Amino acid sequence: MSMNSTRRPLARSRKGWIFGVCRGLADYAEISVVWVRLLAVFGFFLTSGWPLVLIYIVAAIFMRPLPEVEAPKTGEEWDLHCAYSTDRSMAVQRLKRKFDQLDRRTRRMEGIVTDREFDWERRFNSGI
């Protein structure tokens, strides 16, 4: 399992053989990709091919591919990664709130540093 209880999203893998569906399913179920591929081959011969090929193509169309970047390993970054891969609008709102907080902190620090009293105190403490 991952670092926290958040499960990896169901998505096509970028490291798969054909569209990455089997590897994506294996990663989601946290099992070996060999078992998923064997099950797919067995299903192919059991259904005489076409139904499973159709299901595979539909899965390749509707499953999102994993993002290009590797998933981060830390808690907060992993949460954001999972949020982005499942619901992008929610992740964008979260990033906007974070940047708004950083903007407020930066403005507060700029206000302190550019204050006249700060300048006089700095000069007094430095002996100028």
- Look at the pTM and tell me if it is higher than 0.95: no
Say which range, 16-20, 28-32, 38-42, 115-119, has the weakest mean pLDDT: 115-119
Per-residue pLDDT at 7: 64
Query: Where do runs of H (alpha helix) occur along the chain?
Result: 21-29, 33-46, 50-62, 75-86, 88-113, 116-126
